[in-house]
A and B are shown apart, each in its own frame.
Chain A
Amino acid sequence: MIRPDADVLLEIRGLHARVEDNAILKGVDLTLRAGEIHAVMGRNGSGKSTLSKVLAGHPAYTVTAGTVTYRGQNLLELSPEERARLGVFLGFQYPVEIPGVSNLEFLRVATNARRVQLGQEELDTFAFEDLVRERLKVVQMDPAFLDRSVNEGFSGGEKKRNEILQMALLEPLVAILDETDSGLDIDALRIVAAGVSQLATADTATLLITHYQRLLEAITPDFVHVMAAGRILRTGGRELALELEERGYDWVDQELAALELG
């Protein structure tokens, strides 16, 4: 839903970042307003995933230029945990397994960290169980997954549902979902997409990072950005996604080459 007067939640300007000695982001500009759903599409290696990691504060990535402002605050100064508590959420492409750490306990600690930030009361184990059982419905997840270690032995689809469950509990204002559709079968994709749609409200912004347009059939984006060589090359509406689907990414290369020549 596009409302030009809606609050700007996240503003990225001229963002450059590298990992070790490789420059990956080379000047990204992007503005997310409340109520908007954005999709960033692009080939592998275009810098999509790096963008998501940089926004979440992964220590392996170094920002070399540019600014990221989250609700008026310099996001880049904040630790990953501060970003999360303030309402920035990254749904991982490959959620890691953490043996020995109970999923339920992890979800509770994370939820309480966010609640404390919001000035809300921390939930004890009983109150949290009630909350988590209700939120499980968003992703139609079996409560048995709560008793296991974080992501340990989960299938690809279960891991992604667990990501969306975390999003449902943390109620972020900006949700960045990195290739949430990868590795999902049709049914799981439908469930995850329905969950994401349900959580996208007039107060939140969603950034979907995806390679394929099939996720966008389930979640309609307001904006589609095509990323290549660490920049956003083109921005359009959902028709841009369809065009990509039809023509493939080759024209992106041509456009990029033209740009570099020019």
Chain B
Amino acid sequence: MTTAASVGDLVSQPYKYGFVTDIETEKIAKGLSEDVVRLISSKKDEPAFLLDFRLRAYRQWLQMETPDWAALGYPTIDFQNIIYYAAPKQRDKKASLDEVDPKLLETFDKLGIPLSEQKRLTNVAVDAVFDSVSIATTYKEKLAEHGVIFCSISEAVKEHPELIERYLGTVVPSNDNYYSALNSAVFSDGSFVFIPKGVECPMELSTYFRINSGDTGQFERTLIVAEEGASVSYLEGCTAPMFDTNQLHAAVVELVVLDDASIKYSTVQNWYAGDEHGVGGIYNFVTKRGHCRGDRSKISWTQVETGSAITWKYPSCVLQGADSVGEFYSVALTNNYQQADTGSKMVHVGPRTRSTIVSKGISAGHSANSYRGLVQIGPKAVGARNYSQCDSMLIGDQAAANTYPYIRSQQPLASVEHEASTCRMSEDQLFYLQSRGIAFEEAVSMMVSGFCRDVFNQLPMEFAAEADKLLALKLEGSVG
């Protein structure tokens, strides 16, 4: 067994979450037009401001071109061949979980996200999104006692329209880019979190996104607002069935933090990645941005990206408040024919703003993994500091790793540091561990988790071990 072959086998583990739930789904016809945008809005019974928001975005989108600057290769997406709304058939939003279709509860059970009263996680509140709609949110009442709002964004539009109107689209303007415009026009569901002034959210919040339909795009929208002195830790997870076609996922996530507030946003992305020949898998085009509006505010992004055929994603921070802090910790693993172009943007506006970027890319098989990042220091960002570290690990000799760091500084009194390294998991390292009685798979996983430790340390404790396991599973069969 050579190293290249057996790490190869390691990475090629069957995808555990590839099943399809057999459930009656209400879908609208394929294709996108102004009528479709109106139809989605009317299905959700939305207020006029939101329909206007959608239509404006749709018209902007029509004028825009798909971005082509990323190091990604894929066939042109036919946006008229996608269904923009699909929902499991059920009567309205359920008042209690008991009324939710048991098939849906079973689906989330299988995904390791039990929602029912008896089985659900004790310290994590979960919003479960299935195709285009949220089917349940746990611990809502308990959170409400603390003034915390955690619900689907559709529900928030109905219950708290003033908050939605005040914040939606203020961090990621709908015309920010092609996919944010598309999302703004057709977004179906997602989560809304509001942490009022001075409140530390008493539990972890989490949204679990599940794509079930084969011909449907998922366009989720998440908005998290932390008022003065508030703090919250939020985690999202994603999976999808295995289809031999590609599904489009184009999400927008907006975070707003006011004075002394903080949001920690973690992602474990495990969308279906396609098979070992690169057939099928999710096209993941995501815009995530946080706005540190207040002084001494803080946003921390942690992502573990293991899925999707294509990943195009740059969680960013606009550091406007004085002394605000932005962080980005990322592990991106690609295998087989996966392609990832991911990184972060740190835009320093206010004085003494600080940012940290730690990116770990692991490329196996025939995959391509690129880090792309921008550190921008504006003229008023006196004393701003950035530290970036981008490390790549290659497994086998067919994979590619690239780093594209961009630094723009208009402020002489700022410091920007960038470090990068590339290493290859070598046969001799694996042999060394094996010659001490450590099984091959464990040796690979020890080396990978050692490589990723700086990032895993940032994940909420409940999920760090899971992320470790997930990577080991994804790598099963890829070294060797």
Question: In the bound complex, do residue A95 and residue B427 qualify as a contact, i.e. CB atoms below 8 Å apart?
Answer: no
Question: In the bound complex, do residue B435 and residue A56 qualify as a contact, i.e. CB atoms below 8 Å apart?
Answer: yes
Question: In the bound complex, do residue B435 and residue A98 qualify as a contact, i.e. CB atoms below 8 Å apart?
Answer: no
Q: Closest A residue to B442 by CB, please name it.
A: A109
Q: A96-B428, A98-B447, A101-B446 are in contact. Are A57 and B436 (CB under 8 A)?
A: no
Question: In the bound complex, do residue A110 and residue B427 qualify as a contact, i.e. CB atoms below 8 Å apart?
Answer: no
- From B1, B3, B450, name the one whose CB has the most chain A CB atoms within 10 angstroms: B450
A213 at interface (Cβ–Cβ under 8 A)? Answer: no
User: Which of A4-12, A80-88, A127-135, A225-233 has 4 or more CB atoms under 8 Å from chain B?
Assistant: A80-88
Question: In the bound complex, do residue B450 and residue A100 qualify as a contact, i.e. CB atoms below 8 Å apart?
Answer: yes
Q: Which A residues are in CB contact (< 8 Å) with B449?
A: 100
Q: A81-B440, A99-B423 are in contact. Are A109 and B435 (CB under 8 A)?
A: no
A59 at interface (Cβ–Cβ under 8 A)? Answer: yes
Question: In the bound complex, do residue B423 and residue A170 qualify as a contact, i.e. CB atoms below 8 Å apart?
Answer: no
B13 at interface (Cβ–Cβ under 8 A)? Answer: no
Q: Which B residues are in CB contact (< 8 Å) with A114?
A: 437
- Docked Cα-Cα span, A110 to B450, in Å, equals 16
Question: In the bound complex, do residue A98 and residue B433 qualify as a contact, i.e. CB atoms below 8 Å apart?
Answer: yes
State which of A85, A98, A100 has its C-beta within 8 Å of the C-beta of B453.
A100
Q: Which of A95-113 contact B (CB under 8 A)?
A: 95-96, 98-102, 105-106, 109-110, 113
Question: In the bound complex, do residue A81 and residue B427 qualify as a contact, i.e. CB atoms below 8 Å apart?
Answer: no
Question: In the bound complex, do residue B439 and residue A81 qualify as a contact, i.e. CB atoms below 8 Å apart?
Answer: yes
State which of B427, B432, B436, B438 has its C-beta within 8 Å of the C-beta of A59.
B427
State which of B426, B439, B450 has its C-beta within 8 Å of the C-beta of A96.
B426
Interface size class on chain B is 20 to 34
Binary interface encoding of chain B residues 46-90 relative to chain A, with 1 for a CB under 8 A from any of its CBs, else 0: 000000000000000000000000000000000000000000000
Q: Which of B299-319 contact A (CB under 8 A)?
A: none
Q: Which B residues are in CB contact (< 8 Å) with A102?
A: 450
Interface size class on chain A is 20 to 34
Q: Which B residues are in CB contact (< 8 Å) with A56?
A: 431, 435
State which of B426, B437, B446 has its C-beta within 8 Å of the C-beta of A117.
B437
Question: In the bound complex, do residue B446 and residue A106 qualify as a contact, i.e. CB atoms below 8 Å apart?
Answer: yes
Question: In the bound complex, do residue B436 and residue A98 qualify as a contact, i.e. CB atoms below 8 Å apart?
Answer: no
Q: A99-B450, A113-B437 are in contact. Are A60 and B427 (CB under 8 A)?
A: yes
Q: Closest B residue to A80 by CB, please name it.
A: B434
Q: A58-B431, A59-B3, A98-B429 are in contact. Are A110 and B447 (CB under 8 A)?
A: no
Write the nearest CB–CB distance from B441 to chain A, whole angstroms: 10
State which of A84, A98, A99, A105 has its C-beta within 8 Å of the C-beta of B437.
A84
State which of A60, A90, A149 has its C-beta within 8 Å of the C-beta of B435.
A90
Q: Which of B1-29 contact A (CB under 8 A)?
A: 1-3
Q: Which of A197-221 contact B (CB under 8 A)?
A: none
Question: In the bound complex, do residue A110 and residue B429 qualify as a contact, i.e. CB atoms below 8 Å apart?
Answer: no
Q: Which A residues are in CB contact (< 8 Å) with B431?
A: 56, 58-59, 80
- Docked Cα-Cα span, A54 to B429, in Å, equals 16
Q: A59-B1, A59-B427, A98-B450 are in contact. Are A106 and B436 (CB under 8 A)?
A: yes
Q: Closest B residue to A60 by CB, please name it.
A: B427
Q: Which A residues are in CB contact (< 8 Å) with B451?
A: 99-100
- Docked Cα-Cα span, A81 to B2, in Å, equals 15
Q: Which A residues are in CB contact (< 8 Å) with B435?
A: 56-58, 80-81, 83-84, 90, 92
Q: Which A residues are in CB contact (< 8 Å) with B439?
A: 81, 113
Q: Which B residues are in CB contact (< 8 Å) with A170?
A: 436-437
- Docked Cα-Cα span, A95 to B451, in Å, equals 19
State which of A57, A96, A109 has its C-beta within 8 Å of the C-beta of B438.
A109
- Docked Cα-Cα span, A150 to B442, in Å, equals 15
Q: Which of B428-476 contact A (CB under 8 A)?
A: 428-429, 431-440, 442, 446-447, 449-453
Write the nearest CB–CB distance from B478 to chain A, whole angstroms: 16
Q: Which B residues are in CB contact (< 8 Å) with A106?
A: 433, 436, 438, 446
Question: In the bound complex, do residue A113 and residue B427 qualify as a contact, i.e. CB atoms below 8 Å apart?
Answer: no
A50 at interface (Cβ–Cβ under 8 A)? Answer: no
- From B427, B435, B439, name the one whose CB has the most chain A CB atoms within 10 angstroms: B435
- Docked Cα-Cα span, A29 to B68, in Å, equals 64
Q: Closest A residue to B448 by CB, please name it.
A: A100
Q: Which A residues are in CB contact (< 8 Å) with B429?
A: 96, 98
Q: Which A residues are in CB contact (< 8 Å) with B440?
A: 79, 81
- Docked Cα-Cα span, A115 to B438, in Å, equals 12
Write the nearest CB–CB distance from B311 to chain A, whole angstroms: 23
Question: In the bound complex, do residue B1 and residue A110 qualify as a contact, i.e. CB atoms below 8 Å apart?
Answer: no
Q: A59-B2, A96-B428, A98-B429 are in contact. Are A166 and B450 (CB under 8 A)?
A: no
Mark A residues whose CB is within 8 Å of B: 56-60, 79-81, 83-85, 90, 92, 95-96, 98-102, 105-106, 109-110, 113-114, 117, 149-150, 166, 170
Name 13 interchain pairs, CB-CB below 8 A, sorted by A: A57-B435, A59-B427, A81-B434, A81-B439, A92-B435, A95-B432, A100-B450, A101-B433, A101-B450, A110-B436, A110-B438, A113-B437, A170-B436
In the complex, given contacts A80-B431, A105-B446, what are 10 additional A-B residue pairs having Cβ atoms less than 8 angstroms apart? A59-B1, A81-B435, A84-B434, A84-B436, A95-B432, A96-B432, A100-B449, A109-B446, A113-B437, A149-B450
